[in-house]
Every structure is written in structure tokens, then in C-alpha cells.
Structure 1
Amino acid sequence: MGPTASGKTQFAMSLRKYFPIELISVDSALIYRDMDIGTAKPTFSELLHHPHRLLNIKDPIETYSAAEFYKDAVKEINDIVKFGKIPCLVGGSMFYYNVLLNGLSVLPPSNLKIREYLLNNEKKNLHAKLKLIDPVSANRIHKNDIQRLLRALEIFYLSGKNLTELKKNNHKKLPYTIFQFAIIPPSKEWLNNRIELRVKKILKLGLQQEVERLFFRGDLHINLPSIRSIGYRQMWEYLEYKISYQDMCNKIINATKKLAKHQLTWLKKWKNLNKLSYDSNHDILIKQLIDILKNQIHRTI
């Protein structure tokens, strides 16, 4: 785990030189096909040498719930274990990790019509509406977290029960010993600088052309979860002449910094987490990880 731009993917790929691991992507944006540059997806060459499961499994017009991720990830984990390898999950979608570790209620699938109705008619009142239906969830979900607010309300409209009620019946937790690691950046300034460099890089690599291909497909819109991903939403607004090019760049940088801050907040509260101090030399990071593993495995024997 780790905040965006902390080097998780590159480190995970380098671990394959030392461990018999297979990689599973834990990222809500990397699931989409034809969204490569803006998501900083591993390159074609990298994926040839270091395949990632749960990558490119959905078209951008499709939705993908945490329940679907749970089901897909458990299947991949079991398959990898069956073949005598070690599953290594890598990515920054903290909610997906939380679902895997703590289980997930059996929830109804996403419904695009309900989401569109809420966005078109209730967008300014989502948090207030949830507070009436499910005060516990409303207290936990930030008023600006549109996707989670929509999901909580959608669940109520589909099932007649609120999210808090349904969460009482969880799936079983994973029956494996799990070692959790996170790459922690040396400072906020360092991470912000990395984010700014990443945004400049994806723009140079052709983010605009990538989003234009999606924009001109004709069947996609800005309220889809795929297009609401950081980078795509802001570029979409630019292509609709709603913001200037410079505003678009600034919005991507600010949204990415906000995401990183949110991820670090999750990690500060995370239980049983082993923190790796970032180092550009992966051998030093790997030594940190191996030393921690030795101590933890020794305690479990």
C-alpha cells in the first residue's frame, strides 16, 4: 500500500526477483481498458514481464463495485495459492483493501439509472439525504465524497435497508496469514513534488489524446465512475470548454494531492501495518521488508 506517486507498482514488480509472487492490482481506475496514461498504468513492456491480475477487466462504460472486487480478488488469490505462488496485492484503493481484510456485506449491484437520477436531481442534498436515512454512514462519509454518498443512497433505494443495517452480515474474512506493508514518503513536500512531476509527465505522454478518444466515443459521460477518475474528469471539463487548460492542470494536481492526503489518513489508522521508509534504491526497501518478514514469521511459528 501507499499514497499515489509513492512508487508502489515499481517496487512490487522488483519484488518478483526475490519472491515467487503474482501481482494483483488493487486500484479502482486501473480496472478500465483504454485508460492507461491518466491512471499511470504499467507499460505494455512492464506487463509482459510482470503481469497484473484485475487490470483492464472493464470497459469505461461499466461500473465496478467493491463487492465485485471482493469476489474477483478472492478468486485470484485462491488461484495463485493453488499454483504454489504468493499473492501480492498492490495499489492505492484503500477501501478495496479494507473490504478484503474486514469482509463485506452482501450488497445490491450498482444501478446507473438511480445514480443518474441522484446526480441530476439531488446532487447538492446527497449528504443531508443520507443523514436522514443512515446517520451512522453519513457521519463516516465526507460530504464531498460523491461516489460513496451515491453508493450508500443507491443501496437504500434498491434494498429498502440502509448501509449500516446491511453491513452487519459480512462475508467471511480471508483464511490466510496476511503481511501488510506501506511505502511511506519522506515528507509531504517530497510527495507533492512527485505528484506535480507525475501530472506533467502524463500530460506530456498524451493524456489529452487519450481522453479525446473516450470523449468522442459518444456513449460516455462525466458522471460515470471511470470518467470521474482523477485526470479524466478534469480533462473532460476542458474538452467541454468549461475550464481553461491551466485550470485543468491545476485541478488534476490538487485532486491528486487530496487523494494522497486521504490515503495517508487511512494508513495512519491502519492496524497491523508495517511501514517502509521510501528509498529510491529498491534493494534497501526490499531489505527493510525482508527483515520485517523474518521477525513476523518467526513469531508465528
Structure 2
Amino acid sequence: MNTHINKINPIVIFLMGTTASHKTEIAMKLAHVLPIELISVDTSLIYKKMNIGTAKPNKNNKFYCQHWLIDIKEPYQQYSVFEFYQDAIQLIHNIIKKGKIPLLVGGTMYYFYRLLYSISPMIPKSSIHIKNLITKQIINNKFYTYYDMLNIIDPISAKKIHYNDIRRIMRALEIFFITGKTLSTLIKIPNLNIPYPIHQFAITYYDRTQLFKAIHNRIISMIDLGFEQEVRSLIKNNFLQYNYPAMRCIGYKQMFHFIKNKINFQTMLNEIILMTKYLSKKQMTWLKKWDNLTWLDSSKKHMIYNTIAKLVEQQLI
């Protein structure tokens, strides 16, 4: 089999889907035999040392293949959608230059969305100094809440952000104080999209009962693999604290509370399952609104593999 693609008309593949839908497994099997390189689109997998709770690809798997954008941040570090956008675009270009196909795989739909509808190049990186200045405005009672501040500065963005979503509110304020322009203004400034045809696939269990069973089985397996020991070790070695960005990863906050004796084991387990089901529903909400999408059933893994493999083989020279 030829192992290089046609560089004149290269393509990009998006493999999206709900959690526990076998996205990673199928992507690795494809990359094992075809000229593909994998780019992770998952906000949980960026964190080092957090392996079991994030269902990170296991290096002992016989089909294991390297993913770009895995293990790139410490649990205390932030990683913005703008940073992801820049990293992913550069990786896509680099992979195509090597004569291979970039296959982006994951379940962070907002990141996929931003690759399709690109971010203004004027949106800046995060600044701790600016965040501290914003916080001082609240401490000094110049504004009652961060949301009130945003509603005055950028009412358009305020209408699109929930008043309890402090992270996104703070980011919108930060952008204004760094650039002097509101987020709602900056996102209207055009930027280049991916300059290659994008083939988009969404995989999930068509039967919701099967999906929820897969989610339950994954979480039970996660516990059996030593998730509690992983989190205990992270806490003991000061790699994970309650206020770290990585605590947004489903499961870690719940396990943290269990270890600190704030909840019992069954409550912890139930909360992780509930939050993961909720995540799958949010992912489906995104995907149901998506254009130019090919749907595939997770219960037919061979069909998913063959469909994408056939597309790749058509690009070989």
C-alpha cells in the first residue's frame, strides 16, 4: 500500500462524537495502518499525569499511536481555545507537509467549532496581571459582580454567557482590558479557516440505552484501574489542588471530595456517571446542529473503520 497522500488536494478528517463512543480506539486502529496522524481535540487529555480519569490512550495498547496535543499542560495551567486553535492549525499544516492526513479526534465540540469558524487573530493570550486588576475592581466595590461588569462593558457577550460561568465571563473581561475592544467586536474580525476540504464524522450509539451502558461500564472500569489511587497520588505530590483548571475534568472533583471525606463512595460514583451522561447530552446537542456531518453508529465499529479507511485510501498516490 502507498503510504503518502496527494499533496495537491489534501484533506482533513474530523472524528467527533459522544464520550464512550470508541472514537479513540477507531482512530488509533486507522493510524496504525494508514498514513494518518492524530490530533487530540479533548480538553481533558491535555493534562499530564491525569491518565485514568481522562481515559487517556494507553501506551500498552497494541494499536497505540501518538496523539498530538496530549500531555501538553500541567494540571495548574490554563489552555485557551485560542491556544488550541493556533496549535491545531500549525499541526494540520505540518502533517500535510509530511504527506499524511490529519485526523482530529475528540469530544470537545467547541474546539471543533472554532476550527470551522475561526477565531480572530487579535484575541490575546491570558494574563494573570490583568485578571488580578479585574478582581481588584470587584474587591473595591466598583462592580457588584463580574457579570455586572461584563454587562456594562460588553452587553452582547453578557447575553451569550451564563451569569454563573465565571471562567468565560473573566475571559471576556480580560480581552477587553488587554485590547480595548470587546469580545463581541473581535470575534467579527475574519481569520483564515482551514484551507483544505474537511470530512466530518460523528459517532455515537444510536440507541441511547447502549450509550448510557457504555458510559457506566467505562466509569466502573476507570475505578477498577485505580482512579482513586491516581487522584490520591496527585494530591499527595501537590500536582492537583481544588482550584486548578484540571479539576474541571469530570471525575476529579468528585473523587477529590470522596478522598477528603466530603461524600461517600456511592455518591461519588453516581455523580461521575450523572455528569458524564450530561456531557454526552451536551455533545449531542452540538452535533445535531452541525452541518455537513456523516453519522455512524458506535455499535458497528467495523463499518466506521471501513468508511473512514475508504476515504483515506482514495487520497493515496
TM over 0.5: yes
**2:176 aligned to which of 129, 153, 156:** 156
Query: Deviation of residue 125 (structure 1)?
Result: 4.9
Query: Deviation of residue 145 (structure 1)?
Result: 4.3
Aligned residues: 292
The residue that corresponds to 1:208 in the other structure is 228
Q: Check if 1:28 corresponds to 2:43.
A: yes
Q: Check if 1:285 corresponds to 2:304.
A: yes
Q: C-alpha separation between the residues in 2 aligned to 1:188 and 1:133?
A: 43
Q: Check if 1:265 corresponds to 2:285.
A: yes
**1:233 aligned to which of 250, 253, 257:** 253
Q: C-alpha separation between the residues in 2 aligned to 1:195 and 1:128?
A: 38
Per-residue CA distance 1:180-218 (angstroms, 9 max, x = gap): 111032122221121111111111111111111221233
CA separation of 1:195/1:169 partners in 2, compared to 1, >3 Å: closer, same or farther?
same
CA separation of 1:246/1:158 partners in 2, compared to 1, >3 Å: closer, same or farther?
farther
Query: Deviation of residue 290 (structure 1)?
Result: 5.7
Letter of the structure 2 residue corresponding to residue 286 of structure 1: Y
Q: C-alpha separation between the residues in 2 aligned to 1:256 and 1:149?
A: 24
What is the TM-score when the length of structure 2 is the normalising length? 0.82
Query: Deviation of residue 100 (structure 1)?
Result: 1.2
Secondary structure of 2:245's aligned partner? coil
Secondary structure of 1:227's aligned partner? helix
**1:9 aligned to which of 18, 24, 30:** 24
Q: Check if 1:222 corresponds to 2:242.
A: yes
The residue that corresponds to 1:187 in the other structure is 207
CA separation of 1:62/1:199 partners in 2, compared to 1, >3 Å: closer, same or farther?
same
Q: C-alpha separation between the residues in 2 aligned to 1:224 and 1:178?
A: 35
CA separation of 1:72/1:141 partners in 2, compared to 1, >3 Å: closer, same or farther?
same
Return the structure number with greater relative CO, CA threshold 8 A, min gap 6.
Answer: 2
Q: C-alpha separation between the residues in 2 aligned to 1:47 and 1:100?
A: 31
CA separation of 1:128/1:192 partners in 2, compared to 1, >3 Å: closer, same or farther?
farther
The residue that corresponds to 2:119 in the other structure is 104
**Structure 1 spans left out of the alignment, 5+ residues:** none
Q: C-alpha separation between the residues in 2 aligned to 1:289 and 1:270?
A: 19
CA separation of 1:130/1:238 partners in 2, compared to 1, >3 Å: closer, same or farther?
farther
Q: Which structure shows the bigger proportion of residues in helix conformation?
A: 1
Q: Is the 8 A contact 1:276 1:289 kept in 2?
A: no
Farther-moved stretch of structure 1 (11-20 vs 229-238): 11-20
Per-residue CA distance 1:210-231 (angstroms, 9 max, x = gap): 1112212336432322122111
**Structure 2 spans left out of the alignment, 5+ residues:** 1-15
Q: Is the 8 A contact 2:215 2:273 kept in 1?
A: yes
Q: C-alpha separation between the residues in 2 aligned to 1:256 and 1:279?
A: 19
CA separation of 1:218/1:14 partners in 2, compared to 1, >3 Å: closer, same or farther?
closer
The residue that corresponds to 2:7 in the other structure is none
The residue that corresponds to 2:12 in the other structure is none
Q: C-alpha separation between the residues in 1 aligned to 2:100 and 2:308?
A: 18
Letter of the structure 2 residue corresponding to residue 103 of structure 1: S
Query: Deviation of residue 46 (structure 1)?
Result: 3.4
Query: Deviation of residue 47 (structure 1)?
Result: 8.3
Per-residue CA distance 1:145-198 (angstroms, 9 max, x = gap): 454334333333444432211112243111111111110321222211211111
Q: C-alpha separation between the residues in 2 aligned to 1:231 and 1:144?
A: 21
CA separation of 1:205/1:271 partners in 2, compared to 1, >3 Å: closer, same or farther?
same
Secondary structure of 2:104's aligned partner? strand
Q: C-alpha separation between the residues in 2 aligned to 1:128 and 1:199?
A: 39
Query: Deviation of residue 273 (structure 1)?
Result: 1.1
Secondary structure of 2:246's aligned partner? coil
Q: Is the 8 A contact 2:21 2:205 kept in 1?
A: yes
Per-residue CA distance 1:114-170 (angstroms, 9 max, x = gap): 28949x979x95555544443333333345545433433333344443221111224
The residue that corresponds to 1:64 in the other structure is 79
Letter of the structure 1 residue corresponding to residue 55 of structure 2: A
Q: C-alpha separation between the residues in 2 aligned to 1:154 and 1:236?
A: 30
CA separation of 1:112/1:260 partners in 2, compared to 1, >3 Å: closer, same or farther?
farther
Q: Is the 8 A contact 1:222 1:228 kept in 2?
A: no
CA separation of 1:57/1:268 partners in 2, compared to 1, >3 Å: closer, same or farther?
same
